[in-house]
């Protein structure tokens, strides 16, 4: 799954990202509500792992706006606000699951897997930048009508770049963004 983690605690976000990457997911991390809302609205994420207490917009407001804009990404609230009223509020706003901190990383990855099983796969996803088109279901790359063959590593890097057009990524960003922590980018 392609997962957006919106968590302002950098260390926790890094741990969550690593666990999800190890479970085979493609992970993007944002650290504030406004940026998280912008990315979740603009890109096709399968799941958004959303903290509530975020700088800028809080997670409940992010969720409210996502649902108002008909963004159909699944949302798992991951927050220290675990009171009954908070849980009911998050689920009422359209969250698919709610997990209170502190939590076990195994439980988080199990809930993410359950959310992935619970919902039917979406239609095939294509990334398009200019005249490049990458079909993510079968890893076919086309420039216009011409098919281009790439290695698995090249496709992985291209997928990361096409999901973040215009963003400058340093070599160390490729390892975490592509899900391959052992990738040598120098």
Residue 35, token pair as written in the block: 């940026």
Could you tell me the CATH number of the domain that includes residue 146?
A: 1.10.10.10
Indicate if 50 and 131 belong to the same structural domain.
Answer: no
Residue 185 within any structural domain of the chain: no
- For residue 70, give its domain range: 2-118
Give the per-residue pLDDT at 106. Answer: 94
Residue 186 within any structural domain of the chain: no
Q: What does the pLDDT look like over 129-171, one tens digit per residue?
A: 888 888 877 788 999 999 999 888 888 788 878 877 777 766 6
Residue with tokens 């890893």: 139
Residue 38 within any structural domain of the chain: yes
Q: Is the pTM of this model over 0.85?
A: no
- Please tell me which residue, 184 or 174, carries the higher pLDDT value: 174
Residue partners of 71: CB distance under 8 A and separation at least 6 = 40, 41
Nearest to 40 by CA among 58, 60, 66, 61: 66
Indicate if 94 and 25 belong to the same structural domain.
Answer: yes
Residue 48 within any structural domain of the chain: yes
Environment class of 95 (CB within 10 Å of its CB; exposed 0-12, middle 13-18, buried 19+):
buried
Indicate if 111 and 140 belong to the same structural domain.
Answer: no
Q: What does the pLDDT look like over 68-80, one tens digit per residue?
A: 999 989 999 998 9
Give the per-residue pLDDT at 119. Answer: 62
| Mean pLDDT (whole number) for 41-47 | 90
From 85, 118, 151, the end of a domain falls on 118
Helical (H) or strand (E) element with 94: none
Q: Structurally, how many domains does the chain consist of? A: 2
From 118, 134, 166, the end of a domain falls on 118
Give the per-residue pLDDT at 93. Answer: 92
Please say if the pLDDT value at position 95 is more than 90. Answer: yes
Could you tell me the CATH number of the domain that includes residue 43?
A: 3.40.50.2300
Region of residue 179 (phi > 0: left; psi between -120 and 50: alpha; otherwise: beta): left
Indicate if 66 and 91 belong to the same structural domain.
Answer: yes
Q: What does the pLDDT look like over 20-42, one tens digit per residue?
A: 998 888 999 999 999 999 999 99
Q: Which residues lie across from 3 on neighbouring strands? A: 27, 47
- Mean per-residue pLDDT over the chain, rounded: 84
pLDDT bucket at 120, cuts 50 / 70 / 90: low
Indicate if 21 and 63 belong to the same structural domain.
Answer: yes
Indicate if 56 and 86 belong to the same structural domain.
Answer: yes
Indicate if 51 and 135 belong to the same structural domain.
Answer: no
């Amino acid at each position: 799954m392609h997962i957006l983690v919106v968590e302002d605690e950098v260390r926790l976000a890094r741990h969550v990202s690593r666990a999800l990457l190890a479970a085979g997911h493609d992970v993007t991390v944002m650290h504030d509500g406004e940026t998280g809302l912008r990315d979740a609205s603009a890109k096709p994420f399968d799941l958004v792992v959303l903290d509530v207490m975020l700088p800028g917009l809080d997670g409940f407001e992010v969720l409210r706006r996502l649902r108002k804009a008909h963004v159909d990404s699944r949302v798992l609230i991951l927050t220290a606000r675990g009171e009954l009223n908070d849980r009911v509020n998050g689920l009422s706003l359209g969250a698919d699951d709610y997990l209170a901190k502190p939590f076990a990383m195994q439980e988080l990855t199990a809930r993410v897997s359950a959310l992935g099983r619970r919902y039917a796969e979406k239609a095939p996803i294509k990334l398009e930048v200019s005249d490049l088109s990458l079909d993510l279901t079968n890893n076919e790359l086309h420039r216009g009508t011409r098919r281009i063959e790439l290695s698995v590593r090249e496709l992985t890097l291209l997928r990361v770049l096409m999901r973040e057009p215009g963003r400058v990524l340093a070599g160390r960003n490729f390892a975490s963004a592509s899900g391959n922590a052992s990738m040598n980018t120098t």
